Amino acid sequence: MRCGDFKETYIKDEEIFQSLFVKFCLGMFLLFLLVFPFAADAYMLYIANMIGFAVIGAVGLNLLTGFTGQISLGHAAFVGVGAYTSAILVTRLGFSFWLSIPFAGLVAALAGMIIGIPSLRVKGLYLCIATLAAQFIFEFIFIHWESMTKGITGINIPHPRIGSLEFITEKEFYWITLFFVVLGVGYARNLVRSRMGRAFVAIRDRDLSAEIIGINLFRYKLSAFAISSFYAGVAGALWVTFLKVVTPDHFPFILSIQYLAMIIVGGLGSVLGSIFGAVFITLTPELLNYLSEIVKMYALGHEEIFVPMKEVIFGLLIVLFLIFEPRGLAEIWNRFKNFFRLWPFSY
């Protein structure tokens, strides 16, 4: 359907959304996102919000791991730093929620830059372990710096408001989430098609020639860590405000792994892939829950088998993805698009 679509100016050819049809589809999708909360129940909106936070976090991690090639096992730590920063600013210093979000991002970015310093010397698995250290250091801080974080009892967070407009329910919070998701995704997509994003990919693909063409590796690696952690911090701040409470339990090591799973399943080095991955990893357990409820109804007395099966199937799905579609959901999407480019008259 997109064949015969020729560009006449460079501006047209540099656009993200290349044809009128694609723009139309995007418009319809945005419209769907705007109408969705009026049709959905509280549970669905809860899931939608969770997907939103996951998207922001996953886009951030993909900028670091997928685009710049610096593997991080400490993403949950930065989510936590952002979450605690926002919570502490709002409860102790009387910041408004809105003002606390950029601060949460900035503090997380700073933490990310410090953790990213070893990246200049170490790569791959070694960097993995270095960032893993971050995860445990920050978890320790969240638990034991009780004067600031209130330890395992956690901090209760008031709901955000603009004037008299309060954001309490899932439906009201949905608008906040949607706003930040659109902002975050749009920024990332633009970043990766401009100078800085190209430099990131250059570092991933071949750092030696990146240096030859004048890319300062140290600066760009740290920038990648900073931007990635900024996303994580914002995601964290939104998430705990939504939950109305923050405790150290929210940021376990498994959350870092989940973020990695999102970008691997979705597609490394693709902004769209991070969205697919975030949706997949958040939705699948819920779908499996739902399925196991149904199965339980028909197989009474066998719950002890079916309930853990959920986890097994989830794990299996990820493994199958790695084997059959290592480039992720984004690649499936690309193939799908290419198929329809010439459809119905291929050749």
Partner 1 sequence: MEDREEYQLRVEDIHLSFGGHKALNGISTGVRKGEVFSIIGPNGAGKTCLLNCINRFYHPEKGSVILEGQDISHFKTHAIAGLGIARTFQNIELFGHMSVLDNIKLGAHVHLKSGFFSGGIYFGKSRKEEIELRKHIEEKIIDLLEIEQIRKSIVHSLPYGLQKRVELARALAMKPKILLLDEPATGMNLEETEDIARFILDINEAWEITIILIEHDMGVVMDISDRVCVLDFGAKIAEGKPEEIRNNEHVIKAYLGEEDITYSRLGA
Binding residues vs partner 1 (CB under 8 A): 10-11, 13-14, 187-188, 190-191, 193-199, 201-202, 204-206, 208-217, 223, 227, 269
Give me 18's structure tokens.
């290349």
Single-letter code of the amino acid located at 174: Y
**Cβ proximity to partner 1, 315 vs 326, nearer residue:** 326
Give me 29's structure tokens.
């999708």
In the complex, least distance from residue 199 CB atom to partner 1, rounded to whole angstroms = 6
* CA–CA gap between residue 338 and residue 25 (Å, rounded): 16
Contact residues for 18 (Cβ-Cβ < 8 A; gap 6+): 2, 5
In the complex, least distance from residue 214 CB atom to partner 1, rounded to whole angstroms = 3
Element (H, E) at 246: strand 245-246
* CA–CA gap between residue 54 and residue 252 (Å, rounded): 15
Handedness of CA 287, 272, 51, 221 (dihedral sign): positive
Contact between 238 and 63 under an 8 Å Cβ cutoff? The reply is: no
Q: What is the number of other CB atoms lying within 10 angstroms of the CB of residue 345? A: 6
Q: Is 75 helix (H, G, I), strand (E, B) or coil?
A: helix
What residue spans of the chain are helical by DSSP H?
Answer: 10-13, 20-39, 42-61, 75-92, 97-116, 124-144, 146-149, 170-192, 195-205, 207-212, 217-243, 253-266, 271-298, 303-324, 328-341
Element (H, E) at 166: strand 165-166
